[in-house]
């Protein structure tokens, strides 16, 4: 029977493989390989071999047509019970966080007792396809029944038609890369390269310190012989970062986004185990924290809004729903797709004009304590396998709250397509 009252959604723990820059350690691995490794990490840690999980929701942003049922195939590649239902979702960089929210809602309403939210992405194994013109020739060739029809299929053929087309990294509506959009945001909000470099520097230093203290020991599982994110630069410096040239605006002389303050193309996978309190107790599993609220929002970036500003809207709506202020959190996990995105978000929340005119508030949401922001590092240090980032953040924040013993944390993730996914975790 479905519960008449909402149940708390427990976060039991997470498992991710180390994140690696594209075309390095995981160049021979597929999304299926990486996602399966991450899921098996959960199986091993929480003794889930042969266990039928309520549902698994997972996805990838960059995928092949053969991966149409990635989540289910990944489950069948693990030691989970093959009776476990799994489905594939995709919400750009918010994929695994959105999966957690959707699955959490089913747990809260009593539809399922356990779930795994996961995501994987690789640009090392990106699908390369022929252009439309040559593809149509191949279709006509496959349908041809006579030699003359086969020859006709290649009438007017030019060698240039064989040029492969890699997946586009730009927004289909604007034909601009995400970094180009973020560069416009940085200019609009007056974010300097020095400020961006400082955030990137701090991210690397915090992440290196977290590794040194063993914080990630029970959150990562080795993959392909790799035991640590290979983008992390413990020896970086502000001086080194300052020497890097603009990556997205190379002509105006005013570009501020560089390879050092932007995330690289990254391969990796993550997963998070969610459950009802009853299910966790029955299996003797401790609860790290609870997933208590989530929100999504979108902006009209085609009409000129900042592509990555949707989380500012989603957070404002979540605060209104819950009656909380922006300052009522002990930790803030703001996804560092670009340092500029984080800084634009913070500046927007501090702006009376933006909060009144765009968010419909009476005053600015205000500032947050920088000591509470991305305290163990974030995407600028670890890298950003698109669909896997949300899972990494949920597991990290849940562990932080568990170590603290109580508290509340905010997650903010920007995505392609002008969307944002935000969530709240609590421990009490």
Question: Does some domain include residue 309?
Answer: yes
pLDDT more than 70, % of the chain: 98
Predicted pLDDT of residue 166: 62
How far, rounded to the nearest angstrom, does the alpha carbon of residue 332 sit from its chain's CA centroid?
Answer: 16
Q: Which helix (H) or strand (E) holds 104?
A: helix 95-108
Q: How confident is the model at residue 3 (pLDDT cuts 50, 70, 90)?
A: low
Alpha helices in 156-267 (DSSP H): 178-189, 193-212, 238-242
For the ranges 74-83, 142-151, 182-191, 358-367, the lowest mean pLDDT is seen at 142-151
Question: Does some domain include residue 118?
Answer: no
pLDDT tens-digit series, residues 85-109: 999 999 999 999 999 999 999 999 9
Q: How many distinct structural domains can be found in the chain? A: 1
Q: Is the dihedral of CA 334, 340, 341, 347 positive or negative?
A: positive
Predicted pLDDT of residue 153: 87
pLDDT tens-digit series, residues 69-90: 999 999 999 999 999 999 999 9
For the ranges 165-179, 329-343, 349-363, 413-427, the lowest mean pLDDT is seen at 165-179
Question: Does some domain include residue 165?
Answer: no
Q: Is the dihedral of CA 108, 111, 114, 115 positive or negative?
A: negative
Q: How confident is the model at residue 168 (pLDDT cuts 50, 70, 90)?
A: low
CB 169 within 8 A of CB 416: no
Q: Which helix (H) or strand (E) holds 64?
A: none
Question: Does some domain include residue 327?
Answer: yes
Predicted pLDDT of residue 177: 95
Q: What values do phi and psi take at 321, rounded to 5?
A: -65, -35
Question: Does some domain include residue 147?
Answer: no
pLDDT at 324 over 90: yes
Residues catalogued as catalytic: 93, 384, 414
pLDDT at 125 over 90: no
Predicted pLDDT of residue 4: 67
pLDDT at 385 over 60: yes
Tokens coding 64? 């092949």
Predicted pLDDT of residue 2: 55
| 414: nearest Cα among 316, 306, 310, 273 | 310
CA distances from 113 to 9, 10, 105, 150 (A): 9, 10, 11, 57
Which CATH number do you get for residue 336?
A: 3.40.47.10
pLDDT tens-digit series, residues 225-283: 999 999 999 999 999 999 999 999 999 999 999 999 999 999 999 999 999 999 999 99
CB 333 within 8 A of CB 374: yes
pTM beyond cutoff 0.85:
yes
Q: Is the dihedral of CA 174, 93, 320, 408 positive or negative?
A: negative
CB 12 within 8 A of CB 287: yes
Predicted pLDDT of residue 67: 81
- Alpha-carbon distance of 292 to 100, in angstroms, equals 11
- Alpha-carbon distance of 178 to 61, in angstroms, equals 14
Question: Does some domain include residue 46?
Answer: no
Question: Does some domain include residue 352?
Answer: yes
Strand 114-121 and strand 289-298: the pairing is: unpaired
Predicted pLDDT of residue 167: 61
Q: Which long-range contacts (CB under 8 A, 24 or more apart) does 299-304 make?
A: 299/418, 299/419, 299/420, 300/418, 301/171, 301/173, 301/174, 301/181, 301/418, 302/173, 302/174, 302/418
Range of the domain at 209: 178-214+293-427
Question: Does some domain include residue 375?
Answer: yes
């Amino acid at each position: 029977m479905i519960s008449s009252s909402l149940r708390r959604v427990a976060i039991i723990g997470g498992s991710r493989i180390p994140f690696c820059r594209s075309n390095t350690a995981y160049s021979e691995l597929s999304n299926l390989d990486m996602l399966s490794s991450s899921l098996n990490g959960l199986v091993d840690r929480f003794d889930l071999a042969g266990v039928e999980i309520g549902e698994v929701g997972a996805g990838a942003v960059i995928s092949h047509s053969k991966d149409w049922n990635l989540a289910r195939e990944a489950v069948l590649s693990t030691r989970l019970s093959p009776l476990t239902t799994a489905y594939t979702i995709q919400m750009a960089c918010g994929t695994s966080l959105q999966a957690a929210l959707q699955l959490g809602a089913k747990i809260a309403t009593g539809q399922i007792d356990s779930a795994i939210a996961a995501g994987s992405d690789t640009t090392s194994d990106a699908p390369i396809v022929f252009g439309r013109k040559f593809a149509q020739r191949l279709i006509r060739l496959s349908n041809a029944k006579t030699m003359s029809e086969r020859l006709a299929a290649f009438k007017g053929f030019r060698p240039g038609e064989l040029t492969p087309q890699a997946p586009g990294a730009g927004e289909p509506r604007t034909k601009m890369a995400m970094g180009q959009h973020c560069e416009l945001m940085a200019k609009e909000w007056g974010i300097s390269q020095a400020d961006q470099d400082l955030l990137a520097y701090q991210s690397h230093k915090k992440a290196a310190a977290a590794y040194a203290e063993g914080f990630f020991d029970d959150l990562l599982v080795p993959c392909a012989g790799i035991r640590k994110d290979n983008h992390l630069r413990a020896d970086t410096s502000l001086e080194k970062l300052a020497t890097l040239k603009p990556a997205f605006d190379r002509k105006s002389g005013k570009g501020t986004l560089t390879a050092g303050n932007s995330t690289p193309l990254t391969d990796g996978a993550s997963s998070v185990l969610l459950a009802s309190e009853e299910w966790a107790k029955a299996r003797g599993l401790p609860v790290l924290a609870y997933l208590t609220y989530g929100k999504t929002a979108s902006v009209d970036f085609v009409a000129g809004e900042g592509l990555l500003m949707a989380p500012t809207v989603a957070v404002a709506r979540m605060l209104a729903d819950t009656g909380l202020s922006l300052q009522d959190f002990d930790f803030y996990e703001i996804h560092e797709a670009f340092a500029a995105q984080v800084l634009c978000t913070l500046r927007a929340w501090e702006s009376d004009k933006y909060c009144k005119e765009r968010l419909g508030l009476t005053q600015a949401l205000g500032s947050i304590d920088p000591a509470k922001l991305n305290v163990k590092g974030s995407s600028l240090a670890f890298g950003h396998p698109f669909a896997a980032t949300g899972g990494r953040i949920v597991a990290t924040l849940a562990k932080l709250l568990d170590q603290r013993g109580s508290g509340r944390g905010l997650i903010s993730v920007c995505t392609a397509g002008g969307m944002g996914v935000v969530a709240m975790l609590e421990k009490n």
